[in-house]
């Protein structure tokens, strides 16, 4: 049993952060409407077929070399010679006819359990019993194995754009795309190549120093610095219990709002989240006087990257929750994100990752007992916007209606909001600690009402 893949530092960090309460797995919930000719026993037949699929391909057949010590210094991924498909693929059912609320409760519970590191760290649950013959697939996978961007790409490949294609292999049974010839070349680098690498590293260091000087020196007042976030009820130690809620918007509506104020689609996402959080915290009499800040992951993976592991940067932005007027709140958010993205312009991928790591350095304090809730957090909430499939996708002839992401709450950061685009929609997944963020589903409702209010004020 040989080593197949070493962990990069960010992958290792996700394993080191794993605990009973702070579970570092991400997930996806996909809802499907039945094909016109669907057989009542389709899911049972599908499960029987999957059980016969004994072979899995990377990254889905990889497990930790040292499962008892996930953060071991020489940790690595190795192939699992005893891959057991029945352990990873599971079948669940809601009381018929199940609704979205009952589905959310079930997925919340499934997302509240740690993954077993003695096996490849992922599970897929086929869920039946939804109204109108619909079914769902919930997948969870440890963030050290794949990041959110890679996960979406790998899952999308196991679906089809053709509703008549009924034999598409399930995601774990698809062979990975072949890497470009020479990708594994062991040819020693030339002296010129080594000197170029040194120059790039030196340039990265200068860029990082300049960027940090700008942020910490507050030369640009729209820039958000680490530890500038206020203390809030969102930034306490968490329990292992999760709550999950969803919301779906037409992209056209959000683009119209963004265009009306010179912002981007991502700015509109932040506006809805900030507005929902402002209302939610006011109801609890817990709104800080200072604005909440968000950490926004930035994908820096090359277009032809085969995936696996993590390649993300990060920026910080205000949610302007201290601003009562919706239009002024939106303008403040636009200015903040514009300044943050300008910081990354001209940086190499290596420099962006190093700069992002420095911005996130205060996170290392959050797992220390007694720290969460007592010091200023590095930020208040993570909000990710991940590009997803642009066309309708089908699984064995069943059309996917929605694609909702589930991410990671952790000590000191009890709420995580992730957005995935699908066709002409944006699908919001709100995941949080059930105990620290009670009535989390209200955030989904308030985000919808925030869009309606903004559209009304902008006369759209």
Return the H-helix or E-strand segment holding 49: helix 42-51
Which spans in 76-190 are helix H? 85-88, 100-110, 148-157
Give the C-alpha separation, 23 to 408, whole Å: 7
Which DSSP symbol is given to 454?
H
151 and 28 Cβ atoms separated by less than 8 Å: yes
**Cis (ω within 30 of 0) for the bond into 268?**
no
Q: How many CA atoms lie within 13 A of 48 on its CB side?
A: 5
Residues in a beta bridge with 418? 384, 429
Place of tokens 């040819």: 187
Catalytic residue of the set 142, 143, 411, 439:
143
Backbone angles phi, psi at 50, to 5 degrees: -65, -35
Give the C-alpha separation, 30 to 44, whole Å: 18
Backbone angles phi, psi at 91, to 5 degrees: -120, 130
**Is there a catalytic annotation at residue 142?**
no
Which DSSP symbol is given to 400?
E
Return the H-helix or E-strand segment holding 25: strand 25-33
Please enumerate in sequence order all residues whose Cβ is within 8 A of that of 380, keeping only pairs 6 or more positions apart, or say none. 229, 230, 232, 234, 235, 292, 293, 294, 319, 413
Q: Order of strands, edge to edge, in the sheet holding 76-79?
A: 3-6, 76-79, 62-64
Q: Identify the three-state secondary structure at position 246.
A: strand
Q: How many CA atoms lie within 13 A of 55 on its CB side?
A: 6
Backbone angles phi, psi at 303, to 5 degrees: -60, -30
**Cis (ω within 30 of 0) for the bond into 97?**
yes
**Whose CA is closest to 455, among 274, 301, 256, 306?**
256
Residues in a beta bridge with 93? 128
Residues with catalytic function: 143
């Amino acid at each position: 049993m040989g080593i197949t893949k070493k962990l990069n530092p960010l992958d290792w960090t996700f394993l080191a952060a794993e605990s009973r309460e702070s579970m570092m797995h991400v997930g996806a919930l996909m809802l499907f409407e039945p094909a016109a000719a669907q057989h009542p026993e389709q899911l049972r037949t599908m499960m029987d077929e999957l059980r016969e699929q004994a072979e899995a391909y990377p990254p889905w057949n990889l497990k930790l070399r040292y499962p008892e010590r996930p953060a071991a210094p020489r940790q690595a991924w190795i192939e699992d010679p005893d891959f057991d498909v029945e352990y990873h693929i599971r079948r669940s059912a809601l009381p018929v006819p199940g609704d979205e609320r009952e589905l959310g409760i079930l997925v919340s519970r499934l997302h509240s359990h740690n993954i077993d590191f003695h096996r490849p760290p992922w599970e897929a649950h086929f869920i039946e019993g939804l109204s109108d013959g619909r079914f769902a697939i919930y997948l969870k996978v440890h963030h050290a194995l794949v990041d959110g961007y890679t996960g979406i790409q790998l899952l999308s490949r196991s679906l089809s754009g053709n509703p008549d294609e009924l034999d598409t292999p399930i995601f774990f049974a698809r062979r990975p795309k072949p890497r470009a010839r020479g990708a594994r070349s062991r040819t020693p680098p030339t002296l010129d190549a080594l000197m170029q690498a040194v120059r790039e590293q030196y340039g990265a260091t200068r860029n990082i120093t300049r960027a940090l000087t700008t942020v910490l020196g507050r030369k640009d007042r729209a820039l958000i610095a680490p530890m500038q976030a206020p203390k809030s009820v969102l930034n306490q130690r968490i329990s292992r219990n999760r709550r999950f809620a969803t919301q779906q918007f037409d992209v056209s509506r959000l683009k119209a709002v963004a265009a009306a104020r010179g912002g981007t689609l991502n700015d509109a996402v932040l506006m809805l989240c900030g507005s929902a959080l402002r209302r939610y915290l006011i109801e609890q009499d817990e709104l800080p006087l200072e604005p909440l800040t968000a950490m926004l992951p930035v994908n820096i993976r090359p277009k032809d990257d085969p995936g696996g592991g993590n390649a993300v940067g990060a920026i910080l932005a205000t949610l302007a929750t201290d601003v009562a007027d919706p239009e002024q709140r939106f303008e403040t958010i636009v200015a903040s994100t514009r300044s943050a993205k300008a910081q990354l312009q001209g940086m190499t991928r290596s420099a962006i990752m190093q700069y992002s790591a420095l911005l996130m350095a205060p996170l290392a304090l959050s797992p220390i007992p007694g720290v969460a809730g007592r010091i200023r957090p590095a930020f208040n909430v993570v909000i990710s916007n991940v590009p997803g499939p642009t066309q309708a996708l089908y699984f064995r002839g069943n059309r996917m209606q929605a694609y909702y992401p589930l991410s990671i709450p952790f000590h000191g950061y009890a709420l995580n909001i992730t957005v995935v685009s699908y066709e002409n929609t944006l699908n919001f997944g709100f995941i949080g600690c059930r105990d620290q963020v009670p009535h989390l589903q209200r955030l989904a409702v308030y985000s919808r009402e925030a869009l309606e209010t903004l559209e009304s004020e902008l006369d759209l």
